Chains A and B, each alone.
Chain A
Amino acid sequence: MLAKRIIPCLDIKDGQTVKGINFVNLHHAGDPIELGKAYSEQGADELVYLDITASHEGRKTFTELVGRIAKEINIPFTVGGGINELSDVDRLLNAGADKISINSAAIRRPELIDEIANHFGSQVCVVAIDAKQTERGWKCYLNGGRLETERDLFAWAKEANERGAGEILFTSMDHDGVKQGFANEALHQLSTMLTIPVIASGGAGNMEHFRDAFTQGHADAALAASVFHFGEIKISELKEYLKQQNITIRL
């Protein structure tokens, strides 16, 4: 059976990981490659590297980093941040990324999804959606959650699916950073209506939260950052736990 995936997310600024701190036996927790390797050895199923640098120079550093990650890491990895057009995708895939993730750029110009799917195939195109529950339902946000849009989460996810996205990475802004669990109801709704995999993001605080994202949210994968970076949850122990909970997991 296809296994549920556990995906640590690494934020990169100027070629260094931003949050990697509490890592035992790791001399350079700031080194994205060492950290990625450590996660891979613990059993991470994929990695996500998010470029949070804004500058042009930072982009170049990130592309070089992607090339080095591709040489060293032997599991799939996705890169995101600052991807606005086809040439950005081309540059990062050429450097060796397996998938790219787009967020604001796709909401601003949805055709970008079609273009990526047609040029490189749906499997490389992860559409990331940041959304928040408002009085008018779940609304999508732009620019890392700073700008509200009129777009409904479910309508947008469905449109992205139809345009050729390969996966949806859904972050609930209400749950992100609060460590009270993932947005399982919304996840379940997404997972039922979409024909492509859904990655849950935002809210992981303990191992039960991951279980619930899979059993209640029906997510295909779960992504987290700080609980892994700060060593609160060890990926190997998490996967052992999930397996005991009868969830199909790669050990």
Chain B
Amino acid sequence: MYVAIVKYNAGNICSVKNALTRCGIEPVLTDDPELLMKADKVIFPGQGEARSTMNYLKEHRLDEVIKSLTQPVLGICIGMQLLCRHSEEQDTDCLGIFDTDVLRFRPNTSEEKVPQMGWNTINNTTSELFKGFTKPEFVYFVHSFYVPECGHTIATTDYTLSYSSALHKDNFYATQFHPEKSGPVGERIIKNFLEL
């Protein structure tokens, strides 16, 4: 199987590469449109800030390439947020695959820190991405912005409110958490994606 990882100016991309290697896949890290288009699966990972990553994608014409992909695509963390319509982070227009906006967490108490950092459960999972899951499993999150529950929601998580921790529309899948850092549960999600 040929898996491509979108190379851009977001952090933490090599941990996705390492996670795939642990699953027995040698992915290609690339920003070459042709290599991305002909991959069996594409992963759009990363950690970072919406405006600078979105600007980079536009400058390298990767925005159009990502939108045109027809194979299964998995957005992770900032990758998921960039697949949405608009982000409150630096008032940024994003790719618009998912018809929903990205908002900033507004803590209710001093106990609720921003960013949310650590392990939280994914609830109400309804997708082949979570095949084999029988209970709310813990996965690893690091984020200050979130996607509200919407028509594309395939998993929810509670932090200051109940929000979308995973989305799905057509060939596009996305997780707010980091499956590559979520132990055996995360590996299961990556394998489920590779089996789509």
Chain A interface residues (CB < 8 Å from chain B): 1-5, 40, 45, 70-72, 74-76, 93-94, 96, 98, 120-124, 166-167, 191-197, 218, 220-221, 250
Is chain B's binding surface mostly helix, strand, loop or mixed? mixed
CB pair B158 A75 closer than 8 Å: no
CB pair B113 A197 closer than 8 Å: yes
Q: Choose from A3, A193, A218, A221 the contact partner of B120 (Cβ within 8 Å).
A: A3
Residues of chain A lying within 8 A (CB to CB) of residue B158: 1
Closest to B142 in A: A123
Decide if B31 is an interface residue (CB 8 Å cutoff). Answer: no
CB pair B110 A98 closer than 8 Å: no
Q: Jot down 7 A-B pairs with beta carbons below 8 A, ordered by A.
A: A3-B120, A71-B18, A74-B184, A193-B110, A197-B117, A197-B118, A220-B118
CB pair B183 A75 closer than 8 Å: yes
Known A1-B120, A74-B22: A124·B11 in contact at CB below 8 Å: yes
Residues of chain A lying within 8 A (CB to CB) of residue B116: 2
Known A196-B113, A197-B113: A75·B140 in contact at CB below 8 Å: yes
Decide if B45 is an interface residue (CB 8 Å cutoff). Answer: no
Residues of chain A lying within 8 A (CB to CB) of residue B187: 74
CB pair B183 A40 closer than 8 Å: yes
How far in angstroms is the closest Cβ of chain A from B126?
Answer: 21
CB pair A250 B117 closer than 8 Å: no
How far in angstroms is the closest Cβ of chain A from B28?
Answer: 17
Known A74-B186, A250-B138: A2·B14 in contact at CB below 8 Å: no
Residues of chain A lying within 8 A (CB to CB) of residue B118: 2-5, 45, 197, 220-221
Known A195-B113, A250-B119: A98·B15 in contact at CB below 8 Å: yes
Beyond the given A75-B140, A123-B142, A124-B11, please list 11 additional residue pairs across the A-B interface where CB-CB is below 8 A.
Answer: A5-B118, A70-B14, A70-B18, A74-B19, A74-B186, A98-B12, A123-B117, A124-B47, A194-B113, A195-B113, A250-B119
- Chain B, residues 6-24, CB within 8 Å of chain A (1/0): the string is 0000011011001101100
Residues of chain B lying within 8 A (CB to CB) of residue A76: 140, 178, 181
Residues of chain B lying within 8 A (CB to CB) of residue A40: 183
Closest to A193 in B: B110
- Chain B, residues 83-114, CB within 8 Å of chain A (1/0): the string is 00000000000000000000000010011011
How far in angstroms is the closest Cβ of chain B from A44?
Answer: 10
Decide if B49 is an interface residue (CB 8 Å cutoff). Answer: yes
How far in angstroms is the closest Cβ of chain B from A180?
Answer: 26
Known A2-B118, A121-B11, A121-B47: A191·B181 in contact at CB below 8 Å: no
Decide if B115 is an interface residue (CB 8 Å cutoff). Answer: yes
CB pair B180 A74 closer than 8 Å: yes
CB pair A96 B142 closer than 8 Å: no
Decide if B193 is an interface residue (CB 8 Å cutoff). Answer: no
Bound Cα distance from A221 to B113, whole angstroms: 12
Closest to A96 in B: B14
The 5 closest A-B pairs by CB, nearest first: A250-B138, A250-B119, A3-B119, A123-B142, A2-B120
Bound Cα distance from A38 to B22, whole angstroms: 17
Residues of chain A lying within 8 A (CB to CB) of residue B107: 195
Known A3-B119, A5-B119, A45-B119: A121·B48 in contact at CB below 8 Å: yes
How far in angstroms is the closest Cβ of chain B from A64?
Answer: 15
Residues of chain A lying within 8 A (CB to CB) of residue B110: 191-193, 195
| Most chain B beta carbons < 10 A, residue from A75, A93, A191 | A75
Closest to A40 in B: B183
Residues of chain B lying within 8 A (CB to CB) of residue A166: 115, 117
Bound Cα distance from A77 to B22, whole angstroms: 17
Known A40-B183, A123-B47: A96·B113 in contact at CB below 8 Å: no
